[in-house]
């Protein structure tokens, strides 16, 4: 493991351990597991499917924009994960339990968070009135990744920055 990753892991592991212990309380764990599951794509692809039905061609444009941005996000986050190969907190420290099974091997960056932020950025450009729903959901997706022992806080923060940059960059193509 790279020295800078080892140092970062040591700094962030106590935070992850504290958050992960909260997952042992069912009442606390279940909502984050549900949000995480919805953040796998169910929520976003459902939103994309509804947009054209509700708003015709404008909704189709928004949905396609989100879909293309999501494709770029997928390629980008897979590349970053392959380059850094940061071990997940639940695999780094035996006191951290994965609240749900990880979808892949590495931690950095959080794909759920990157997608949630980039999708929300694009969707809010087209439909600012959805902020009441998308902003809290995106924040819950990001928090769920740490609470469930699957990501370090820096995985989520960097994914948020990358997702925001990707979302805004994609908007520059249509403005």
Instruction: Name 106's bridge partners.
Output: 87
Highest-confidence segment of 51-60, 89-98, 145-154: 51-60
Q: Is the distance from CB of 40 to CB of 112 less than 8 angstroms?
A: yes
What is the per-residue pLDDT for 22? 63
Domains, the chain, with CATH or none = 3-172 (1.10.606.20)
Nearest residue to 97 via CA among 32, 162, 141: 32
Q: How many helices (H) and strands (E) does the chain have?
A: 7, 0
What is the per-residue pLDDT for 89? 87
Nearest residue to 68 via CA among 48, 82, 39: 48
CA distance 44 to 65: 12
């Amino acid at each position: 493991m790279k020295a800078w990753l080892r140092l970062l892991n040591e700094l962030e592991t106590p935070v992850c351990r504290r958050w992960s212990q909260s997952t042992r309380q069912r009442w606390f764990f279940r909502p984050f597991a549900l949000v995480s599951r919805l953040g796998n794509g169910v929520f976003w692809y459902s939103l994309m499917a509804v947009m054209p039905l509700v708003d015709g061609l404008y909704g189709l444009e928004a949905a396609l924009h989100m879909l293309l941005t999501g494709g770029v996000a997928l390629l980008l986050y897979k590349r970053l994960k392959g380059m850094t190969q940061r071990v997940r907190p639940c695999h780094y420290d035996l006191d951290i339990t994965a609240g749900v099974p990880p979808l892949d091997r590495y931690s950095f960056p959080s794909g759920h968070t990157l997608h949630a932020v980039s999708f929300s950025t694009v969707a809010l450009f087209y439909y600012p009135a959805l902020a009441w729903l998308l902003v809290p959901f995106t924040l819950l997706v990001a928090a769920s990744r740490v609470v469930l022992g699957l990501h370090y806080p820096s995985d989520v923060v960097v994914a948020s920055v990358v997702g925001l940059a990707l979302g805004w960059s994609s908007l520059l193509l249509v403005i």
